[in-house]
Structures are given as structure tokens and as C-alpha cells.
Amino acid sequence: MGNETLQQFAALDLDYLIIGGGTAGLAVAARLTEDPEFRVGVIEAGPSVLNIDDNGAINVPGRYGETIGSKYDWKFKTTPQPGLGGRSLPWPRGRILGGTSALNLMAWNRGHRKDYDAWVELGNENWGWEDLLPFFRRSENFHPPSAAHQKHYQSSYDPQANGIKGPLHTTHAKQYGPTHQYWHETLNSLGVQSTRDSLAGDNTGVWNMLCTIDPDSQERSYSASAYYQPVANRPNLHILTEATAMEILFESEDDDWYAVGARVRWNGLEANIKAYEEIIICAGSVQSPQLLELSGIGDQDVLEAAGIETKVHSPNVGENLQEHMMTATIFEIPSAIPTRDDILKDPIQREAADRAYYASRTGPWTVMPCSVAYCPLSKILSPKECDELHTQAKEVARNTGRTHDALLASQFESGQARGQIEYLFDLGNWSPYFVSEPGKKYATMLQMLQYPFSRGSIHIPPMRENNYEKATIDDKPVIDPQYFLGPGEIDKKVMAKALRWGDRICQTEPLAKLIRGRVFPPPAKGADLEEKVHEEFVSKYTVTDWHPVGTCAMGEADGINGGVVNDTLQVHGVHALRVVDASIMPLQVGAHIQATVYAIAEKAAEMIIEDYFARNGPL
């Protein structure tokens, strides 16, 4: 039930209070309230657009990216990054009911099975591939492509890998751009084989990305529309939008801290919202650590500098930040080829696209960038280069003593086949740094590093020096990804060498017949000069791939010294408090993280219910 006031919400008798009505939060809420005895409240800082007419920027698939930097975006920024030439990067995050699932590019894939098995190697039981597979399947309602679609677009699938009864619609794009027909053949000729179904535990190879789109309505399927809207009238589910959680409330008993609620601000008013069973933080990799620190859970030095009284010294809160990194190489193509840029720049073409979409759910707004390849390092690097980087990575692992780094180093071993670099080719200029010339057309090769060594942090800021006021929820967190610094130097080397392989893809037939030449970065004369161009390009033009994880990581084996939550996602050092979102991932996965976040939420909901009955017995 939505549209409640703060006073009404504060008067509720809640069993569970969820902070964050985003990707994970609404999934958890929907699953918990399947039992009519569980009373659940959700606090969301952003608005809902479910029942407004002007929501095309959210719902229309081909309009992806329009909401970045809008009122639905938190508009975070990183600190200036020395590894990126001092640049500060925008970090979009969803400030809307549905969270970032309402803003993302709707990509739907899973990591390699070894990605999740690595979480188990770190001591987190029941988080391996086979453990998570039922929850991956539980979240999705996969719509198989027609036989004609499979033949024309090579949209194969494995029925055993896909869920068909979940809330979230997933499907192959209705249409692909004109270059897609060459993608598989080009990569196949380079020795990268087509993968039948990237969701089956091995996403290495070339394949077509699924999308979170309802194929009947041709609209985005996201947590608000898929998990919440169908059950919005449940009397035991309560949503308060445009409300900000300021801190978690605790009570002390026998020197133990118990989470009992949250201080919430709505429409200029404040109130304490209580829950009898648990508080569940689903605020994402940026704001979950922020909220923990503002509530007195974090590294004592960070808290004292911010003027926050320490309840629990938890040194890993906000640490272990990992992020996929991306570059966009631009190629000129013949001016006769239609691109998405045409629609974005020409009001007449945009109006025609709108008419086609709203009249028959066809046209350019149903075309999605789904031609991808996940390439292992053995394809991208020479054996000598792999050996050199393996030696460097093993040295990093020896110096840190961290199992995380040893697991990352193993990717350079011979025989390893996980896709370290994701390549995505699409028509149009995707780069924020390259200005298109009038009358010319372009295509973009995106490359995205999947398993970074770079480790950063997200913390609340220190007190203001002029008045010594303590940090509050209104102070933007300090986001410092530490791109390419320390062990992250390995990332920079891999990214630079991966550009070379991206060029090779674009120089290979049949894709090459559509490409006139690379224009950004401009080509150099000679291999040595090209290598220097690639290195400079990576430093100057790497951006975020919008997949931050790890800032409230699971660390069961070493307790509070190894992580922020245990393997049931309960926060170390306190009671009745969990974190459920991408921040709990101890190691990055080789995939767009949306599907993994939904699986985490599905698994968390089951654990929460099991724990309730273990404590209280049957209802």
C-alpha cells in the first residue's frame, strides 16, 4: 500500500523495515509479504513513476540513458582520481522506486560459475553457483525467442538455465541493429565461439545479451513494475516514497546492540519508524556503508573524524570497493548506415520513432545494444604477456596476504577461460569525450574490465572544519575507487592491451566491411606508438561501468575483521540488522550485476523467513 504519510507510516506495527525501495529492497519486500502475517515497510528516497503518464524515459527500452543525470539520479561523483589523470567521474545511482533497475541499460546476464564459487572459497557457505542458481531462476520470467528470431539473430538458449515463473520479464531484444548480423561470424573467425546460453554458468564467448523487457508491452521490467506493482495492494506491504532514512536506531541490552528502527525524514518532518523483527538495509553499494557509518558502525577513525559516536568498530565498512571499468573506442562508418544518433539529433526522426513505438510497439525504440563477447585473457594477451601479469599478480597476493587477490591472480594461469573483458559493439557515438563531426556517422566498441585489482572505498566525510558539525545523510559520501592505483596497475595494463584486441575485432571481416577506420583515439604509425596511444587512452578516458560492489562485503570466515556481514547477511557486531544489495558481494563477478543482485535478494528473503521461524516457531 503506497501514498502513506509519515505519521501513518510511523503508527504501523511492522515486523520488518526495509531501507531502500530499489532493485533488492522491493524484491525482498515482495517475497516477505507473500506470508500475510509478515508486516513489512519500505522507505524509499525517490518518487514512484508507476502511475504517471510521462514515464517514457524509464519504460521505453530504446530510450536507455536519458535518466542519467536527471531528477531520478543521485548524481554522485568520485573524488579526483590520480590513476585517471585527476578526473572525477559521475557515478549514476537510481533515486526512484525501483532504484538503479529503473535507470540501467536492462542488461541481463550471470557471471561464470567460478565467480560465485570463489565466494565460497572466501568462507561464505552456500553462496556458490549451484547454491545461487535456484534464486537466479526464481527471479525471472524468461520469454524464449521464436524459431525465426533464433535463426535470424542467433538467439539460442538453454531451457534448463532460465527461470519461467519469476516476476521479472527477460527476453531477447525484439530487434537488433544492422551490424549484429556480422558480430558472431567475426568473433567466430577469431576463435571466439558462440555460447548457447550465457546464463548456464559459462558466459565466455560471443552471444546476445538478454534484456529486462516485457516482450508483450515492450516496456522495461524492473523491481517496481515486476516485484512491487502486482502486489501493491497487499495490506501487509507499506511503501513510503520520497522519504530519507537518516540513521539506524539501536537499543542496548547487556552490552549488545539491537537494531530497532530508523530515523526518517519526509516532507520536512521527522519520525522514528520501528520494527519488531529486523531492519534490512538495501541502499546499494554507495549508501549502505554510508548509513551504517552514520549509525555508528564502521572504522572508528572514520567515525570519529565525522563526529559520529562509535557503537561497533567494524573496519571493513566502506572498504573493498570494486568496480567494472569501461572505455569507448569510436570508429567512422558509412554515412548511409542509420544509427541511434540520428534519432537523438533529429526531431522528425524521433517523432517517427515515437509513433511507431506507441502505435505498434515497433521501430527504433525496440532496438537494443546486445551484441557482446566475453573474451578470456588467453585471446587478448600473448602467452608472454599473460606470464608477466601472472607474476605481478602473484606478487600482489603475496604482499597483501589476501585470498581475494590470490583468486584474482589465478585468472592469468594457462587454461583459465573466464571472460576478463566484455566487448560490446553498437552503432552511434557512445563516448562523452568524442565530439561527432557534422555529416559523419560513427560506431562504438565498448570494452569493460570484469575482474579488477583496483580497490577503493566509500565513506562519510569528516566534520566540516569551519563549524565542526558532524556528518549527516545530506552530505554526499566520499567515493574513491582508486582506479589503476597500487595493485590496480595490473588493470591498466590489461585494459590497454585489450584495446589492441578490440581493434582487431573491428579489422576482421565481415564486421570490417562496415568500418572506415578508427577515429578515437586516432591511429598511430607503428605498433610501439599504438601501444603508447592505448596506454594514454585508458588513463584519460576510462569511465565507470556502473557496477560498484563490495563495500559491505560478506566475510564469514574472519568475522568482523574479514567483512561487514556474515554469510546470512547479518551485520557483524549487532543484532537484527542485515544488508541485502550489491555491497555484500566480496568479489566482483564477470557480468552486469543486475541478475546477481536479484538473486541475492531472493536468497536473502528465504534466509530471513527461515531465521524467523527458527526464532519464533510456526506462526
Name the residue ranges covered by the structural domains of the chain.
6-48+224-321+550-616, 60-89+175-222+322-457+475-544
Tens digits of residue pLDDT in 227-284: 999 999 999 999 999 999 999 999 999 889 999 999 999 999 999 999 999 999 999 9
pLDDT for res 171: 98
Rounded average pLDDT over 187-212 = 96
What CATH fold (topology level) applies to the domain 60-89+175-222+322-457+475-544?
A: Glucose Oxidase; domain 3 (3.30.560)
Domain 6-48+224-321+550-616 = CATH 1.10.1740.110: no
Rounded average pLDDT over 9-35 = 98
Strand locations in 376-481 (E): 421-427, 441-449, 457-459, 478-480
Place of cell 560459475: 113
Q: Please tell me the number of Cα atoms within 13 Å of 440 on its side-chain side.
A: 17
Work out the mean pLDDT of the chain and round it to a whole number.
96
Known catalytic membership, residue 547: yes
Residue 465 pLDDT > 70:
no
Weakest-pLDDT range from 59-73, 394-408, 434-448: 394-408
Rounded average pLDDT over 519-539 = 92
132 and 597 Cβ atoms separated by less than 8 Å: no
Instruction: Name the more confident of 533 and 55.
Output: 533
Pairing state of beta strands 577-579 and 219-220?
unpaired
Residue 603's nearest CA partner among 618, 588, 590, 585 is 585
Share of the chain above pLDDT 90, in %: 91
- pTM, 2 dp: 0.97
Rounded average pLDDT over 339-352 = 96
Instruction: Name the more confident of 98 and 529.
Output: 98
Rounded average pLDDT over 548-570 = 95
Same fold, 6-48+224-321+550-616 and 60-89+175-222+322-457+475-544: no
CA–CA separation, 78 and 89 (whole Å): 5
Tens digits of residue pLDDT in 89-121: 999 999 999 999 999 999 999 999 999 999 999
From the list 143, 547, 572, 575, the catalytic residue is: 547
Place of cell 516482450: 215
Tens digits of residue pLDDT in 160-172: 999 999 999 999 9
From the list 180, 390, 534, 592, the catalytic residue is: 592
Known catalytic membership, residue 169: no
A 10 A CB-CB count for 307 gives: 15
State yes or no: 184 annotated in a binding site: no
pLDDT for res 466: 62
Rounded average pLDDT over 322-342 = 97
pLDDT for res 1: 56
State yes or no: 313 annotated in a binding site: no
Residue 438 pLDDT > 90:
yes
- Cα 156 to Cα 10, 162, 191, distances in angstroms: 50, 12, 19
State yes or no: 171 annotated in a binding site: no
- Band (55; pLDDT cuts 50, 70, 90): confident
